Amino acid sequence: MNILAIETSCDETAAAVLDENKLLSDVVYSQLAIHQSYGGVVPELASRAHLQTIIPTIDEALHKAKIRRQQLDGIAVTYGPGLVGALLVGVNVAKALAFANRIPLLGVNHLEGHIFANRLDHPQLEPPMITLLISGGHTMLILVENWGKYRILGQTIDDAAGEAFDKVAKMLTLAYPGGPVIDEYAVKGDVNFVRFPRALNKKDNFNFSFSGLKTAVLNYIESKPEQFVRQHIYDICAGFQMAVADVLIDKTSSLAKKYQLEQVTLAGGVARNEFIRHQFSVRAGEEGYSIYFPSPNFCTDNAAMIGKAGLFHLQNGECSSFDLDAIPNLNLKAID
């Protein structure tokens, strides 16, 4: 079964081709150069850039996979959550291709795509497991009882983890997106130089809050002379990153213990963070659970993960109708 997957939920135009056993191609066109000078994603510019690049991106993915359009057996496309104008580009192209080729169309939830990203690198991985999804828009602790069966056990009550990285980077006048820059800067800093607060750090509270941490960093920066901040920028990044890592790891580890689960997977852009990956590996060893991360390119947005989730549902005989619409605030379908 050859699947074409399309992802256009935010600022990456992505297409991938895969079959049951193998990822045949994976193309990601990042719009970073378009948005960077604005310090964030500009929705209108994102939609326009998707329009211009979607067809060449799909053609490149098919070419690299050595698959012709006529050889496709299904199309998977992200239909939410994300920016509505951006999602609409992918959804409509997917519909047109599915209709023209008379093959099934499947709308994929972007969050489920992130959960499936680990399956690209770890094909043997099977639930039950806990997935910590940490991206630019979401921070969630998900009990994956089975593929397609999710229970949300905790989530952020304000900012997402990636959003906190981006906002703190902005306060420090660092480039957008902030995550990769803080990751790089923090390595050179002292994690003990400044201690920022860890929110909701109580037993059995599996929700997250990052807005207090963001304010604490802002207050700290404003209370110091500019030169001091410049001089200690690596230390401030290290202190902030440590505070984020601590809450993510403490809550995930205690949840794994509570549910006696031996597998934890990370997903989403923040899962690229070297320090968080390392600290998680150390703690997993101490607490006796196995930790899995997607390779860095499958943490941030890509179409391969959408294809992996799509393949699972298509193989289950599911498909979407041609009135599939973009749903910007789509939730992860959870069981109670």
Nearer to Zn ion, 135 or 139 (CB): 135
Site for ligand KG4 in 202-241 (CB under 6 A): none
Nearer to Zn ion, 2 or 131 (CB): 131
**Mask 83-122, x = binds ligand KG4 (CB under 6 A)?**
----------------------------------------
Residue ranges with strand state E in the chain: 3-7, 12-18, 23-30, 74-80, 105-109, 129-134, 139-146, 149-155, 263-267, 290-292
Report the nearest approach of ligand KG4 to the CB of residue 289 (Å).
22
Q: What would you report as the CA-atom Rg of the chain, rounded to the nearest whole angstrom?
A: 20
Site for Zn ion in 228-267 (CB under 5 A): none
Q: Helix, strand, or coil here: 11?
A: coil
Choosing among ligand KG4, Zn ion, none, which partner's interface includes residue 273 (Cβ < 5 to 8 Å by kind)? ligand KG4
Choosing among Zn ion, ligand KG4, none, which partner's interface includes residue 272 (Cβ < 5 to 8 Å by kind)? ligand KG4
Nearer to Zn ion, 159 or 235 (CB): 159
Report the nearest approach of ligand KG4 to the CB of residue 210 (Å).
11
Choosing among ligand KG4, Zn ion, none, which partner's interface includes residue 239 (Cβ < 5 to 8 Å by kind)? none
Residue 309: phi, psi to the nearest 5? -70, -40
Q: Is 267 exposed, middle or buried (0-12, 13-18, 19+ CB in 10 A)?
A: buried
Q: How many CB atoms lie within 10 A of CB 254?
A: 15
Site for ligand KG4 in 136-195 (CB under 6 A): 136-137, 162, 165-166, 177-180, 183
Site for Zn ion in 95-154 (CB under 5 A): 135
Is position 135 an interface residue for ligand KG4 (rule: CB under 6 A)? yes
Report the nearest approach of ligand KG4 to the CB of residue 167 (Å).
9
Q: Is 316 exposed, middle or buried (0-12, 13-18, 19+ CB in 10 A)?
A: exposed
Torsion sign, CA atoms 52, 56, 61, 67: positive
Nearer to ligand KG4, 2 or 273 (CB): 273
Element (H, E) at 27: strand 23-30
Nearer to ligand KG4, 154 or 294 (CB): 294
CA atoms within 13 A on the CB side of 302: 28
Please, which residues have CB within 8 angstroms of residue 226's CB and are 6 or more apart in sequence?
A: none
Is position 78 an interface residue for ligand KG4 (rule: CB under 6 A)? no
Nearer to ligand KG4, 154 or 179 (CB): 179
**Mask 291-330, x = binds Zn ion (CB under 5 A)?**
----------x-----------------------------
- Give 188-256 as a DSSP string: TS-TTS-----TT-STT---B--HHHHHHHHHHHHHS-HHHHHHTHHHHHHHHHHHHHHHHHHHHHHHH
Site of tokens 């089975």: 146
Contact residues toward Zn ion (CB under 5 A) are 135, 301
Contact residues toward ligand KG4 (CB under 6 A) are 10, 135-137, 162, 165-166, 177-180, 183, 268-270, 272-273, 300-301
